[in-house]
Chains A and B, each alone.
Chain A
Amino acid sequence: MNHRIHRRTFSSATLQGATALAIGAAAPSGWMQSLSATLSGQPTSQDRVLVVIQLTGGNDGLNTVVPHTNELYYKARPKLAIPKEDVLKFNSDVGLHPSMRGIASLMEDKKFCVIQGVGYPNPNRSHFESMDIWHSCQRKESRNSDGWLGRYFSQLIHPMSAAPTDSCGLHLGTEQLPLALVARGVQTPSLASIEQLRWKGKSESIMARDEIEKMPRAKREVDTETNLLDFVSASTTAAMQASERLEKALATPDSSGDFPNSQLGEKLKIVSRLLLAGLKTKVYYVTLDGFDTHANQLVAHSGLMRQWSEALRSFHQRLDSAGLGERVLVLTFSEFGRRVAENASQGTDHGAAAPAFLSGPKLENTLVGNQPSLSDLDDSDLKFHTDFRCVYATLIEDWLGASSKNILTAEHPKITQLGLQL
């Protein structure tokens, strides 16, 4: 018997099988509802998607949302303050960095909201520790090896379901999987680029895949925690499944419109293609690095603000034109803001509270919370008034329709001024 032919038959059967499952034949009930709701046109929380944009390095909140009438701001930043006349003002107190025209236009349409003064008690000024706090919602002493979105995925996954379906989350980028997405027993794929998905030795590796797919899911979930080989095997299965599913989803021609030719633009373009291709993934996670502006901040920060703003506008425009605009909410955050006073290198050092941002669907408010005081400081840094976990609670409860208590490991009040509930 010719093994080559045998293998091909096997391969295409698997492919069809996987597709059938992904469309819903044996998928968890949530996905079924989602599909029928999409067909009947009634939105449910199962249709909703969350995209997280992480600004890595500590975004300077004060030069993003500028307090353009506050003398203390101009006093603390003789070289770095944004001149009042350049600020894109949206009220008499605050306005946006001049590179944020794209976001200003989203704001005019009430599709972008600034949440001021976000942070947490006893702010940690290490990038890595503060990022881990945002990702895990826990301090180092009490931290487990999972993240807030990972815990959401664990709630979402039906434990008995062995069906390969679209992963709950998808991370786009070459950096390691963000802790926020790490879950017990659920592997979230990372995707660096569409081209990198193509598994070149597929035909030779098919037998290895066959072996991996026969591993019962339960075993993978239990043993990946302790056994390194089980972890690598489960990850290989996830990779092969993601590779096949995404290759298939992206087989249709690229109709994703004009996206800026930037790192973030490219990533959001891929997300828009996957959304348009009907992928059932609930959470997409992308990062934009370079915000650690200790020196010569003005030019670097301006470029980053433009990149973020233009990529975000293109993304929402593309989704709006495809009729998906009301289904996709974007959260943008950074691990901390920067110190109020500039340093001697025309930069700013690590700070504390900063704004977080939501965008996408029509929102009830474009500005939530007051600008933290520039005179009442905590160790030279802005004080937070809104715990970041309240932002998460709002997203989990009102946008994703899940219960936030276990995910956030405690109850946190929601922000009520956004109007995200169905």
Chain B
Amino acid sequence: MISKTIPANSRLEDIDPTIAWQTWEPSDEEPWDNRRASLLHRRAGFAATQEELHATLSLRPEFVVANMVRSETGNNSDVGTFESDSAELAKAVLATSDAKQLAAWWLHRMLNTPTPLVEKMTLFWHGHFATGAEKVQDAELMRSQNTLLRDNALGNFQNLAQGIAKDPAMLIYLDSVSNRKAHANENFARELMELFCLGEGNYSEADVQQLAKCFTGWEIRRKQFRFNPYQHDDSKKMLLGKSGIESGESAIDCVLASPHMPRFIVRKLFRFFVSEDANPSDAFLGPIADQFVKSNYSIASVVQSILGSRLMLSGWSIGRKVRSPIELAIGWMRTMRCTTNVGFLSDRLRTIGQAVLFPPNVKGWEGGRAWINSSTLVGRANLIYELIHHDKTRFDGVTLLAFAERNHAKDPDQLAAWFAKLFFIDDLSGTERERLMKSLDPSKPDRWATQSMVYLTSLPRIHLS
């Protein structure tokens, strides 16, 4: 009889995939507690506030996950107000035509959204269908793409793939604003298979050339997609072993039908939500990949299964991901109910490697250990240090000290416990608590909250989720 629990230190290859992907249910040994609920908020969103954690613990976990995936908050007027405010802000930002301001606008959404999973998935697809504003040079088109990604973030992958293939920002980014019959441009065709759908090695060079021919005649004119039949090569092409492929749309469907597609997408979701360090076998991903196909490529369906799985919530996943710069900064700010100058935040995120709308290349962000190097570590520590000390920064409208007291954290020890529960993968060790006390300057008794927070956010574990 196979054990139904997943010991926290098991190697992935020793875990039975059917057990791993079952829905987790609380038990006496594995209660629905702070550690699990805060993990769920870190992975499905950007870390919880005290109030969110309480609310989450009062509900059954599968109900919490279902609400997240359906983008339901219990109070739909929150969503309405948020969306109308955000639309107003977007108008003002687009009037400047500055994509950097649009990036700040998106961060503002991540900070304030009542449905964090939607923004998290939009960020996932932005990294997947990476498009850089420095090349597109048009904030409006970046915003249209951002809307396309958000509208389909938890929708149907086929619709999303067909949509992105005609998205003006994407086609500008991949040099495909004019695809002529005489010399097909291979860039978009190659990346569609290599980075968006199948993975390197799962297609041939001949497939790249044939797929590029299917996209001839696809153009961007006056910021809009247009099909130019005079430039389209309407011969029947052989693609991925299938003959008779002619149009770009049918070619995309042919790529999506490749047996490599479901595992490629599910593997990427695994990396995003569970762990970049563990390298699951195809067999391990099998149940989720099958579900992706059976649900007719429903993204919501597989995300719900991953988030609510035993693998996620039994505890095995805790500490197995490196926080991205956005997860670190937005998460910390949400937990601390911190408001500040978003432009400043956006600038600083760029220096530590995650400027949204400006991904490093068409592959997006590598994630995991790649987030961490000397510069980014110093930059991460400095980012939070500067957020704490910025004159525009407030915590729930007040100073850090007043905020700590409002949360019944009356000394460094209590603040550390309160913060660790919401933001760390586990509690501080005894030595760390001693060191926290030693790091304080007794000549400045009114500064203990600030100093404690700088100490806490300089601990290496702050980078783990």
Q: Which residues of A contact B (CB under 8 A)?
A: 2-4, 7, 56, 124-129, 140, 171, 174-177, 189-192, 196-201, 204-208, 210-212, 228-229, 231-233, 235-236, 238-239, 242-243, 289, 292, 294-295, 341-345, 347, 349-350, 379
Contact = CB atoms under 8 A, between A and B. Distances in A.
B377 A236 contact: yes
B180 A344 contact: yes
Given A174-B353, A211-B435, A294-B185, A229 B373 contact: no
Given A140-B201, A175-B360, A229-B319, A239 B374 contact: yes
A342 B183 contact: yes
Nearest to B444: A4
Given A289-B361, A345-B175, A125 B190 contact: yes
A232 B460 contact: yes
Give the interface centre of B183, B350, B362, B431 by most chain A CB atoms within 10 Å: B183
Interface in B209-250: none
Contact of A347 (B184, B185, B431): B185
A22 to B, nearest CB: 16
Nearest to B440: A3
A207 B194 contact: no
B463 A176 contact: no
B185 A235 contact: no
B463 A232 contact: yes
A176 B366 CA distance: 8
B143 interface: no
Contacts of B443: 2, 4
Interface in B11-59: none
Given A201-B382, A379-B205, A207 B438 contact: yes
Contact of A198 (B366, B378, B463): B378
A177 B353 CA distance: 11
Contacts of A341: 183
Contacts of B84: none
**Residue among A176, A189, A206, A231 with most chain B CB within 10 A:** A176
Contact of B439 (A174, A206, A212): A206
20 contacts: A2-B442, A2-B443, A3-B439, A7-B439, A56-B361, A175-B360, A176-B360, A191-B375, A196-B379, A211-B432, A228-B320, A229-B461, A235-B373, A235-B377, A294-B175, A295-B177, A341-B183, A343-B186, A344-B185, A345-B183
Interface in B363-422: 363, 366, 369-379, 381-382, 385-386
A349 B185 contact: yes
Contact of B374 (A124, A140, A233, A235): A235
A214 B441 CA distance: 23
Given A174-B351, A344-B183, A208 B319 contact: no
A343 B177 CA distance: 13
Contacts of A344: 178-180, 182-185
B451 interface: yes
A289 B361 CA distance: 9
Residue from B201, B370, B377, B379 with most neighbouring chain A CB atoms (10 Å): B377
A191 to B, nearest CB: 5
A356 to B, nearest CB: 22
B277 interface: yes
Contacts of B183: 341-345
Given A208-B459, A294-B186, A344-B184, 8 more contacts: A4-B443, A176-B373, A196-B378, A196-B379, A207-B435, A239-B373, A294-B174, A342-B183
A265 B48 CA distance: 44
A349 B442 contact: no
Interface residues of B, number: 67
B157 interface: no
Contacts of B442: 2-4
Contacts of A232: 322, 372, 460-461, 463-464
Contacts of B176: 345
Contact of A129 (B175, B185, B200): B200
Most buried by A among B182, B194, B459: B459
Contacts of A239: 373-375, 377-378
A191 B369 CA distance: 16
Contacts of A208: 435, 455, 458-460
Contacts of B370: 176-177
Contacts of B185: 294-295, 343-345, 347, 349
A343 B184 CA distance: 7
Interface in B182-199: 182-187, 190, 194
B187 A294 contact: yes
A228 B322 contact: yes
B178 A345 contact: yes
Nearest to A225: B277
Nearest 6 A/B pairs, CB to CB:
A189-B374, A190-B373, A205-B458, A344-B183, A294-B175, A295-B175
B454 interface: yes
B455 A3 contact: no
A56 B361 CA distance: 10
B375 A228 contact: no
Contact of B376 (A2, A128, A190, A345): A190
A311 B373 CA distance: 26
Contacts of B458: 201, 204-205, 208
A228 B278 CA distance: 11
Contact of A199 (B186, B319, B363, B382): B382
Contact of B451 (A174, A204, A242): A204
A191 B386 CA distance: 20
A229 B460 contact: yes
A238 B460 CA distance: 12
Contacts of B463: 232
B455 A204 contact: yes
A189 B377 CA distance: 10
Contacts of A191: 374-375
Given A199-B378, A208-B458, A235 B186 contact: no
Contacts of A210: 435
Interface in B301-342: 319-322
A180 to B, nearest CB: 14
